A and B are shown apart, each in its own frame.
Chain A
């Protein structure tokens, strides 16, 4: 392959000490400057690692005026101090932070695979990439040789499934060495859309295939391609179980063994993650009226069964290890071993692919009114190889379909695409257009928020209706759960720092089904604890799934089973055993609170982060249309009687819709008040100075931003 080395940087790969290397790697692709930076004790103390490191380095890189496509914007990848251990399941997460093309502010996205751990073992707690190259480049980090290069490899393919194969073959010395390589890449659609995603590769030696995991949210793939970075490759041979050099290895091993036993004994009786992966959620969500269908109008569908776990399991290549990092016995990342593509540039080719997760199935499937697993797999494959976030693509396409069915769009405007609900052929063509940067695909690739503006300006669409049905908040498309009957989940989505992603809080069952959060105080407490707890996983480099997709047998006898107390204690033990520190659960939550509040202030710095930015579309709160109301008329009529003492008899659906809407919108505002109060924020959602002081995140530059907004 033709290669030109543009610059080269040598370093001495440092060994880890208690989870940290104490160095980060800085690369600027504008001037090809490469350097190392020390990690200070202050940064470790206040930001821990992972998402925390990413936020801190980005904060220092950008100004309030910086836009996502400015060269000052960065992509930061950090695995966290616990990340990379092989004794505890789910320890291979990397956290990626950047300014988002769709939200305009800071976004974080977590992803499995080998990149984060291999980066760490190569001698770096984080990778900070800034600048914008004039030509496509590959960043290559050789952790054994102590070498970083920026290279030009002009013959590389654009799409990830080909690109990672070329690069793995190119950089690996032999078949065995392929395990040493992990690659970050995007794809051709990330060149032309704002919903670009990052693939993180790892080599599956059992199947002799390269697998891809995704940092999907926030359009960071578009940032990568805007910087003209084709790929970031890390190579490190010699992974062993003790490379983190923890303070107490035996404690980590013991904690891991306990969870492995739980999984072995409990998974078959619980979620069956080892067989079904996250596909098990499809039936659950359909049963509880939470599976989005037809752009979140409804929560279930009579054809929902067609896309449930048994149909996926039939297509899975089971019986081989399915963890995305060594030692993960929960092994949720499933593989479809032999799939023949039916459309697009790779039509007719046989591929091995990572199977769709729940979010993809619900997003590109049920939410678009399509209940066909072959279509979903095709869509999943192309989203991945083109570098498109399946969640944003699914939610966006469902929105476009509702626009189409309401006459806002037609075939003339879409260039012939008949974007009716259920039309998988049109969806795939839309996706192919995104990869080519052509036609309506290019408009759609702007994401929902910018599409709304475009449709109002160009097609004179009704902005109020678009705002009601466009399932985005802060500019990010919603994750795939219907939140109408859970006020707390409405807050979980609306109040999330980066936008409506469920990795802060998934509280629908606690609220809607269990009825455990009757008062606003209860709701606010849940919307404090769970986002803080879950943030912590992203600081240290752990996956959320082993927290609650497997539970100890005696969890039902604990005081707060929803928190899975034993697993929370495991995390405290892991952190202490790794770092030699002695935190308790309260300090663990404070660690998160510091970073969480810092991220809120970061939003303020970028011109976001106040109350109006926590507003949500009414479709996520209640029924927008008459047909939606009438589909669950008994439920809504009963609520009018029970909650408002309003007699629905003889009233038109339009009247009832409005009464219900006034009530629900009022409830959401009360929820925001309660949550802000619990979090120590003002009525406008600004962290109070005393809150920041109490948490120890009252850095002068943080206080300066807050003071400006309090003035």
Chain B
């Protein structure tokens, strides 16, 4: 299991940020992503691999109006 925004989420082999965003249907363009508090830049979403037990933050910036 991993944590995504403080909530449990199933882990799988070769789970990248990009795959995680797809699984969560996180389609919002302005995201701040951190793995264990380390910032991952958008150009690395495809290659940044999440390990079992990692604490992932996918911070959606404010939108609307």
- Name A residues whose Cβ lies closer than 8 Å to a Cβ of B: 269-272, 280-281, 283-284, 287-288, 359, 479, 481, 501-503, 506-510, 513-516, 518, 530, 544, 548-549, 551, 555-557, 561-562, 564
- Contact of B65 with A509 in the complex, beta carbons under 8 Å: no
Chain A interface, DSSP helix/strand/loop, else mixed: loop
Task: Given A270-B30, A288-B28, answer yes or no on A513-B39 (Cβ-Cβ < 8 Å).
Answer: no
* Chain A residues near B25 (CB-CB < 8 A): 287-288
Task: Given A283-B27, A287-B27, answer yes or no on A561-B5 (Cβ-Cβ < 8 Å).
Answer: no
State the Cβ distance, A542 to closest chain B Cβ, in Å: 14
Stretch at the interface among B10-18, B47-55, B56-64: B56-64
Chain B residue at smallest Cβ distance from A508: B64
State the Cβ distance, A538 to closest chain B Cβ, in Å: 12
* A272, A280, A513, A544: the one within 8 Å of B65 (CB): A544
- Contact of A530 with B28 in the complex, beta carbons under 8 Å: no
**What separation, in Å, do the CA atoms of A557 and B59 have in the docked complex?**
12
Task: Given A479-B65, A503-B65, A555-B32, answer yes or no on A514-B60 (Cβ-Cβ < 8 Å).
Answer: yes
Task: Given A270-B29, A287-B27, answer yes or no on A515-B5 (Cβ-Cβ < 8 Å).
Answer: yes
**What separation, in Å, do the CA atoms of A555 and B57 have in the docked complex?**
15
Q: Which of B5, B6, B41, B59 has the most CB of A within 10 A?
A: B59
State the Cβ distance, B59 to closest chain A Cβ, in Å: 5
**What separation, in Å, do the CA atoms of A133 and B64 have in the docked complex?**
39
- Contact of A281 with B61 in the complex, beta carbons under 8 Å: no
Task: Given A513-B5, A561-B59, answer yes or no on A281-B64 (Cβ-Cβ < 8 Å).
Answer: yes
State the Cβ distance, A697 to closest chain B Cβ, in Å: 26
* A271, A280, A507, A515: the one within 8 Å of B62 (CB): A507
- Name B residues whose Cβ lies closer than 8 Å to a Cβ of A: 5-7, 25-30, 32-33, 39, 41-42, 57-65
* Chain B residues near A515 (CB-CB < 8 A): 5-7
State the Cβ distance, A292 to closest chain B Cβ, in Å: 12
**What separation, in Å, do the CA atoms of A656 and B60 have in the docked complex?**
31
Chain B residue at smallest Cβ distance from A530: B62
* B28, B62, B65: the one within 8 Å of A562 (CB): B62
**What separation, in Å, do the CA atoms of A483 and B41 have in the docked complex?**
30
Task: Given A271-B29, A284-B27, answer yes or no on A509-B5 (Cβ-Cβ < 8 Å).
Answer: no
- Contact of B30 with A271 in the complex, beta carbons under 8 Å: yes
The 9 closest A-B pairs by CB, nearest first: A506-B64, A509-B60, A502-B65, A556-B32, A515-B5, A515-B6, A561-B32, A287-B27, A270-B29
- Contact of B62 with A481 in the complex, beta carbons under 8 Å: no
**What separation, in Å, do the CA atoms of A502 and B29 have in the docked complex?**
20
- Contact of B28 with A284 in the complex, beta carbons under 8 Å: yes
* A269, A481, A502, A561: the one within 8 Å of B61 (CB): A561
Task: Given A284-B28, A514-B5, answer yes or no on A562-B63 (Cβ-Cβ < 8 Å).
Answer: no
Task: Given A556-B39, A556-B41, answer yes or no on A510-B62 (Cβ-Cβ < 8 Å).
Answer: yes
**What separation, in Å, do the CA atoms of A569 and B61 have in the docked complex?**
18
**What separation, in Å, do the CA atoms of A549 and B29 have in the docked complex?**
10
* B29, B30, B33, B65: the one within 8 Å of A506 (CB): B65
- Contact of A516 with B59 in the complex, beta carbons under 8 Å: yes
**What separation, in Å, do the CA atoms of A555 and B32 have in the docked complex?**
8
Can you list 29 contacts pairing A with B, beta carbon distance less than 8 Å?
A269-B42, A270-B30, A271-B29, A271-B30, A281-B64, A284-B27, A284-B63, A288-B28, A479-B65, A481-B64, A501-B65, A502-B64, A506-B63, A506-B64, A507-B62, A509-B63, A510-B62, A513-B58, A514-B5, A514-B57, A514-B59, A515-B6, A516-B5, A548-B61, A548-B63, A551-B61, A555-B61, A556-B32, A562-B62
**What separation, in Å, do the CA atoms of A513 and B39 have in the docked complex?**
18
State the Cβ distance, B45 to closest chain A Cβ, in Å: 12
* Chain A residues near B28 (CB-CB < 8 A): 284, 287-288, 509
* Chain A residues near B60 (CB-CB < 8 A): 509-510, 513-514
Chain B residue at smallest Cβ distance from A502: B65
**What separation, in Å, do the CA atoms of A287 and B22 have in the docked complex?**
11
State the Cβ distance, B28 to closest chain A Cβ, in Å: 5
State the Cβ distance, B39 to closest chain A Cβ, in Å: 5
* Chain B residues near A513 (CB-CB < 8 A): 5, 26, 58, 60
Task: Given A269-B42, A556-B41, A557-B39, answer yes or no on A551-B62 (Cβ-Cβ < 8 Å).
Answer: no
* Chain B residues near A280 (CB-CB < 8 A): 29
* Chain B residues near A561 (CB-CB < 8 A): 32, 59, 61
Chain A residue at smallest Cβ distance from B24: A513
**What separation, in Å, do the CA atoms of A478 and B61 have in the docked complex?**
22
* Chain B residues near A271 (CB-CB < 8 A): 29-30
* Chain B residues near A508 (CB-CB < 8 A): 64
**What separation, in Å, do the CA atoms of A548 and B42 have in the docked complex?**
17
**What separation, in Å, do the CA atoms of A557 and B65 have in the docked complex?**
25
* Chain A residues near B58 (CB-CB < 8 A): 513-514
**What separation, in Å, do the CA atoms of A561 and B57 have in the docked complex?**
12
**What separation, in Å, do the CA atoms of A564 and B32 have in the docked complex?**
12
Chain B residue at smallest Cβ distance from A558: B32
* Chain B residues near A549 (CB-CB < 8 A): 63
**What separation, in Å, do the CA atoms of A271 and B61 have in the docked complex?**
11
State the Cβ distance, B50 to closest chain A Cβ, in Å: 17
**What separation, in Å, do the CA atoms of A269 and B30 have in the docked complex?**
9
* Chain B residues near A281 (CB-CB < 8 A): 63-64
Chain A residue at smallest Cβ distance from B34: A556
State the Cβ distance, B58 to closest chain A Cβ, in Å: 7
A513-B58, A548-B62 provided; 10 other pairs, C-beta below 8 A? A283-B27, A284-B28, A479-B65, A481-B64, A501-B65, A515-B5, A515-B7, A518-B6, A556-B41, A562-B59
State the Cβ distance, B2 to closest chain A Cβ, in Å: 14
State the Cβ distance, B36 to closest chain A Cβ, in Å: 15
